[in-house]
Amino acid sequence: MPESVPADPSQIRNVVLVGPSHSGKTMLVESLALTTGAINRAGTIEAGNTVSDSDEAEHRQGRSVSLSLVPLEWQEVRINLLDTPGYADFVGEVRAGLRAADAALFVVSAVDGVDAATSLLWDECAAVGMPRAVVITKTDNARADTEGVLDRCHELFGEGQGVLPLYLPLHADDGHVAGLIGLLSRQIFDYSGGSRVEREPDPQHVELIEDPRTALIEGIITESEDETLMERFLGGEDVAFDTLVSDLEKAVARGHFFPALLTASSPTGFGMKEVLEILVRGFPSPLEHELPAVTAPDGSPREPLRCDADGPLCAEVVKTSSDSYAGRQSLVRVFSGTLRADSTLHVSGHFLTERGHEDHDVDEKGGSISLPLGRNLNAVDELRAGEIGVVSRVAHAETGDTLSSPENPLLIEPWVMPDPLLPVAITAHSNADEDKLTAALGRLVAEDPTMRLEQNPETGQIILWFMGEAHVDVLLDRLKTRYGVSVDSEPLRVSLRETFAKSAKGHGRLVKQSGGHGQFAVCDIEVEPLPAGTGFEFVDKITGGVIPKTFVASVEKGVRVQMAKGVAAGYPLTDIRVTLVDGKTHSVDSSDMAFQTAGGMALKEAAEASEITLLEPVDEVLVLVPDDYVGAVMSDLSGRRGRVTGSEGAGAGRTKILADVPGLELTRYAIDLRSLAHGTASFTRQYSRHEPMPQHVAQGLVGG
């Protein structure tokens, strides 16, 4: 494990690993760590965990759900590997890794192939021009289809010349993969003896190499600065190996060419040196990566950032976690300047108020700085521009926050966070849990900005919005084990409304005499329904002063109070006009409170004479779905009482579907849509309006 941080950003590679669960990412990371000497196999077995595991919940649940940093060193280059979760529920961690990295390594299993989520993340990287390469793992598995998966990657990820292999699998006589055939070098890398042996190709390999080698060279020299090179190559000239390697490095770093490499699960280090060569020689350094825009905390402009250790300090928190002993730990990417241990930092957090975060700008002293490897933290004095590491005890830092100097506070707009769309209503399990719940939820939100905290003022419920069921399991487990708070889930209540279905009259009469001043108030009202979304209107038609103006206002106040309580099922009343037409007063016993009470009584009597309709919230839903699943999605929306209002092509074989769907029917839509479209669809929802609820659905909510 390296003990010091390289001073030169050109000697750093920040690489995020992206791929589905069980694709072999964690095994790849461990094999790379073994190859570089960061760990040894005996130590790994003794520790009982992989180099990237850092969350106890992951061990209990048998899955990796957190972004983790694994720093390696190869050929005097620091490689910061950011291992990301492979579950779709934790795409927020993946996007955090993409933000912190300068290049992406997509990991695809030769057994399972490419899943939909990985394909979508490839498109995200393409949109920002991030350099990428593909690693095909498990090529030695008996069920591996290496050539088929390579073809599928070329088909799905194809851009220009697309994904092309740098190596072909070398098969032994019994058919298993024994090594690699280098297409550029025309060399064999034989791992059959337990270690990497380089040799000349056998005669049967020469013809096998030529066609894929030609396609590879054409893909590489498309990016060559020598505009005559392609013409010369097509004319039969043999391009020098050093020229091909140089152009390969440029093509990969520019994000225009995507080499594919092959690895195996064997303990021989199969393919690891080849992967490390691409990371070191093909991927860009922080100096070559465009940095995010920056402003002052108040939004005023600032000079663009440069990857310069002597520049203004600007770092971003890409992951937050809490430790019972060390306190809050912040994984940060330093974009500019130098972050020193125990220095005073300005912590700036904005943009995420709708998810339960408060805007904050505060100066506080940071703690130690370290580079993690699994659960071990190796202390360093500083992190320079381009580096990634952990800062301890920055109590106010949350994921997505900016760290800068108090003298020159800066703010980076955070990466795009996925929208959590699975609501779960919770309640504290006991009084002891109730006392700790608010603080624990605050910490949970600070760690994971993909979770949204909502305290619904109408239903009184605490609602946590998640990415999916796995996200629910992990975060509620974390709430219990890390913060000692147990919660129970309860049925989600939607914010219903009541309204009048037809006009009605109401009479409110309060006459009480019990010695001294009594209470006297009489009012007559007429209630009529209004169009949806109108709200409430109050009309005064009192003539002759039978009710003084001051008491007219009291009647209106009483009506409003009763509207908030509801008149049938306890839901707020809306979309009505109340007209005060008559009443009586007493010179001594009438009062503001008496007329408020009479106003509420009159509204309840009018409700008894009318029909009360329940109104339910309706959301506008936009579903982005592959064309193959359009029919199934539309049918499902109709089954949810939804009305499809339009559809249009979205390019790349995808369709946008717009629909109005009752919120009551969307509680589990995030789960059901993922199942329906095999993880290839996404959706957004936005409240549109309240509409009458069908009688068969409302039955039982209003007196049967």
Please list the residues that pair with 687 across neighbouring strands: 619
- Residue 685 has a pLDDT of 96
Whether residue 340 lies inside any domain: the answer is: yes
Whole-number CA gyration radius for the chain:
32
In contact, 85 and 20? CB cutoff 8 Å: no
160 with 196, same domain?
yes
My answer on whether 180 and 300 are in the same domain is no
Q: Which domain holds residue 263?
A: 10-288
Residue 418 lies in a domain: no
Count structural domains, the chain: 5
Same domain, 367 and 381: yes
> What does the pLDDT read at residue 502?
96
How far, in Å, CA of 371 to CA of 244, rounded? 36
pLDDT lower than 70: segments of the chain: 1-7, 41-64, 158-161, 323-326, 355-356, 374-375, 515-516, 700-704
Tell which of 588, 610, 632 closes a domain: 610
Q: How far apart are CA 25 and CA 601, in angstroms?
A: 68
Does 42 share its domain with 73? yes
Is residue 681 assigned to a domain?
Answer: yes
The Cα angle at residue 153 between residues 149 and 157, in degrees rounded to 5:
170
Query: Do 68 and 193 have their domain in common?
Result: yes
Q: Are residues 536 and 591 in the same domain?
A: yes
Cα–Cα separations (whole angstroms), residue 390 to 1, 7, 350, 373? 16, 18, 21, 11
| Cβ-contact 115, 91 below 8 angstroms | no
Assess whether 321 and 181 both reside in one domain: no
On whether both 397 and 458 belong to a single domain, the answer is no
pTM for this predicted structure: 0.85
pLDDT at 246: 87
Residue where a domain terminates, one of 451, 474, 490: 490
* pLDDT tens, position by position, 311-330: 999 999 999 988 666 678 99
Judgement on whether residues 456 and 478 belong to the same structural domain of the protein: yes
Q: Are residues 574 and 531 in the same domain?
A: yes
CB < 8 Å & 24+ apart, contacts of 151-160:
152/113, 152/114, 153/108, 153/114, 153/260, 156/114, 156/119, 156/122, 157/106, 157/119, 157/122, 157/132, 157/258, 159/126, 159/256, 159/258, 160/219, 160/222, 160/256, 160/257
- Do 28 and 166 fall within a single domain? yes
Are 82 and 17 spatial neighbours (Cβ–Cβ below 8 Å)?
yes
Tell whether 339 is covered by a domain: yes
Three-state DSSP state, 90: helix
Query: How do 167-171 and 103-109 pair as beta strands?
Result: unpaired
**Same-domain check for residues 462 and 556:** no
Q: Looking at residue 43, what is its pLDDT?
A: 44
